[in-house]
């Protein structure tokens, strides 16, 4: 008969993000059929007993388990792919999935170097026989299209020079575009799109500081609730804020599956940025399990992308 501690250990092996494979191996390979039967009876999270006294698996729980077992595989695949192919495939999937996933396109376009983004665009040609821009125009009909096309088309200057007067004047342009009318029209504001899509990150970070100093709030705060616009500004100007927000959402107790998948994407594909920004994995290590946990923590600890 399974002891309560065995049932607790079994359920705990599935209770985080990932799976505790070592515990499962220990429990299940040392169980005879009678012991497994009592495990099924004791584990209401995984099994339900029907009117005939038959302990059958709860299919909703099994579906969740399949997602948990996939996490390690998905992390390995993302890690081993060529970075250009990986980014191209992530962008293509985000385009097809629709508006709730456009932040992935923003991530790839705004956190990569100019050469890295150009490489992803080249990979997209080879993989899908179309350009990213063409697919964006074909599949996206909403107001986000203009901004997304501009972001993925960018080849930003990466030198150190910043004209502070221009940065300050452009902070005013963005402030007026946001506050002097309907925020929804910001996505049609030609100057605002030009600033976000073409200026260097150093310039935009200076602009961000001028905005804060001039208007006693940050540009991101002024775009609260504006989805893709806030994501764009944070990825360009304060990437640590953006990635912290994504990772914290992933480990919330009520996090949905897409939020949890973002944990894999961000840690595997943005580890250089996380290390640069001094990300400390304390908030995630207690909820991750098994090989997936080992892989995620090792990815962060490994430092720069090789």
Show binding-site residues for Ca(2+). Answer: 14, 16, 18
Sequence-distant (≥ 6) Cβ neighbours of residue 68 within 8 angstroms? 14, 17, 18, 19, 289
Rounded to whole angstroms, the Cα distance separating 149 from 181 reads 24
Tokens of 257: 């599956």
Among residues 153, 174, 160, 159, which one has the least CA distance to residue 109? 153
Rounded to whole angstroms, the Cα distance separating 47 from 58 reads 5
List 49's β-bridge partners, or say none.
55
- Sequential DSSP letters for 143-181: THHHHHHHHHH-----SS---HHHHHHHHHHHHHHHHSS
Q: Tell me, what DSSP letter sits at residue 99?
A: G
Rounded to whole angstroms, the Cα distance separating 295 from 204 reads 34
Number of Cβ within 10 Å of residue 297's Cβ equals 15
Q: What is the four-CA torsion angle of 187, 90, 241, 195, rounded to 10 degrees?
A: -30
Sequence-distant (≥ 6) Cβ neighbours of residue 151 within 8 angstroms? 105, 106, 109, 110, 196, 197, 232
Question: Which residues does the annotation place in the binding site?
Answer: 14, 16, 18
């Amino acid at each position: 008969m399974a002891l309560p501690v065995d049932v607790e250990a079994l359920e705990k092996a599935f209770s985080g993000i990932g799976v505790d494979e070592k515990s499962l191996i220990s429990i299940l390979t040392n169980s005879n059929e009678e012991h497994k039967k009592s495990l099924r009876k004791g584990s209401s999270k995984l099994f339900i007993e029907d009117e005939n006294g038959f302990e059958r698996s709860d299919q909703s729980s099994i579906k969740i388990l399949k997602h948990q077992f996939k996490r390690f595989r998905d992390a390995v695949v993302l890690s081993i792919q060529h970075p250009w192919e990986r980014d191209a495939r992530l962008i293509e999937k985000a385009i097809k999935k629709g508006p709730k996933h456009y932040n992935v396109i923003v991530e790839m376009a705004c956190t990569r170097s100019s050469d890295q983004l150009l490489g992803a665009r080249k990979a997209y040609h080879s993989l899908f026989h179309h350009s990213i821009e063409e697919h964006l125009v074909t599949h996206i009909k909403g107001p986000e299209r203009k901004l997304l096309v501009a972001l993925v088309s960018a080849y930003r200057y990466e030198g150190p020079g910043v004209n502070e007067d221009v940065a300050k004047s452009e902070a005013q342009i963005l402030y007026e575009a946001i506050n002097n009318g309907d925020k929804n029209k910001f996505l049609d504001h030609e100057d605002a799109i030009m600033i976000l899509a073409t200026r260097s990150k150093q310039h935009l970070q200076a602009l961000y500081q001028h905005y804060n100093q001039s208007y006693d709030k940050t540009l991101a705060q002024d775009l609260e609730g504006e989805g893709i616009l806030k994501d764009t500004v944070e990825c360009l100007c304060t990437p640590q804020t953006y990635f912290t927000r994504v990772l914290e959402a992933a480990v919330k107790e009520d996090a949905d599956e897409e939020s949890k998948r973002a944990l894999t994407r961000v840690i595997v594909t943005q580890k250089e940025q996380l290390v640069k920004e001094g990300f400390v994995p304390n908030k995630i290590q207690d909820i991750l399990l098994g090989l997936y946990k080992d892989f995620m923590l090792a990815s962060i600890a490994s430092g720069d992308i090789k």
